[in-house]
Every structure is written in C-alpha cells, then in structure tokens.
Amino acid sequence: MRYRSFDPSGAYADGKPRARGLRCVALRERLFGMSNPEIVLARHGETEWSLNLRHTGTSDIPLTDNGRRHAEALGRRLAGREFAAVFTSPLSRAAETCRLAGLGDQAVVREELVEWDYGEYEGLTTAEIRETAPGWTLWSHKIPGGETAEQVGARCDALIRDMLECEGDVACFAHGHLLRVLGARWMGIAPERAANLALSTATLSVLGWERGNRTLQLWNDGSHIRKE
C-alpha cells in the first residue's frame, strides 16, 4: 500500500500531483451527466472501542473478530465491482477492512480520510464527556485540543475535488464521523448537518447523481452483515 501525506496546496509531500496515476476526465463532463461515477463509502468493521461507544479518532484500535468477519462480508458484497480508484485512511482499522474486502492491492492511503481528531475526548463516551460538559455533542460543541467541524469539512472538500476527476467509480474506506461529514459535503450542506446521517460499522453507502445533482443513492446499508 502506498502512503503519501496530504498537502492542501494541491500536491503530496513527494511533490507529485494528487491525481497522478488516475484516469481523469474534464469536470464539465461530470456536472453535465456525460459521465457520473459513484462514490462508494465503507466504514471500517467493529472495534472494541466502537462496540463500547468510545470516541475513536487517531488511536489505532484493531478490528475485533466480528469486525474482520464483517469486512469480509463487505468484500463479498463488492465482489466483481471495478473501481477507478480505491482510497483508505492510514489507520489500521480502515486499511485492514479494505484489505479483507479484497481491495488492498489497489488502495492508496489518503490523509484526508483520517477520523475526526477528538483531542482531549479521545477514548471517552458521550456520557463520560457530559459529566464535565453537560449537553455536549460533537456537532454543536468544541473539542478541547481537537478538530472543528469546519476543519473536517475542509478535508472532505479536498478529497471530493480529487474524486470528481476520477474516470469511474471510487471506493473510500474510512471512519464513522469522517464519512458522515463526507456525505454532507457531497450534498453541499454544512458539516454539522452530518448529525442526521447515522452510520454503523462495516456498512455500505453510495454517493451518486440525479440529473447533475449530487445525491445519496444508498446510506448505512448493512444487509450483507445481517445475512452472515
């Protein structure tokens, strides 16, 4: 798997342009319906922290046995589908889900897909946070030492710009809150509105198009897990 750090100026740390190696077409063709690829979003499988509802940002928590099985089920769901690009968060729970789903050899690590930085709230549940910050929610309150919704949204916007240049479908393996914000920004709404887009582990979502408008074609689909 290749690793390249993200630079908002438009290039990776190695100096290569972000779209290098991808088949690209004009953005105008995307917007006017001549070629409308789908963006497939896969949240990583279950971890001990996700099972216990602990905020898991940059901590590199591994998949549980169930998480690995669910990642394999996700792979069977995606079997036979071709992608022009496959992107993954560098964190192991997402990269391992991508590998178990059968797409690891094609994956490119993207720093934009790292989960929300929860700062001082890393590893805590919402109930624990509210003991000192009554009424706290990720979407409406600040995180001491962590990211803002606007900062996460900016990361998603940068990735969306790249994905719009890919000729064909794109798969992204990442994290719950990050992917929720990505869905919101795809639709052009504020990152905070992602509060309305619940997302479970190892689920599949699809961002698509209708008559030139960006849409949610599928969201939080875990039917492949329920069949296990």
DSSP string, 31-80: HTTSS---EEEEE---BHHHHTT---SSS-PPB-HHHHHHHHHHHHHHTT
Whether residue 55 lies in the annotated active site = no
Dist CA 114 CA 178 (whole Å): 7
Whether residue 175 lies in the annotated active site = no
Q: Which residues pair with 6 in a beta bridge?
A: 12
CB 37 within 8 A of CB 172: no
Task: Give the residue among 79, 76, 100, 107 at the shortest CA–CA distance from 224.
Answer: 76
Dist CA 43 CA 190 (whole Å): 21
Dist CA 178 CA 198 (whole Å): 11
Dist CA 121 CA 137 (whole Å): 11
Q: Out of 115, 122, 147, 165, which one is annotated catalytic?
A: 115
Q: Out of 44, 70, 177, 224, which one is annotated catalytic?
A: 44
Give the catalytic positions in this structure: 44, 115
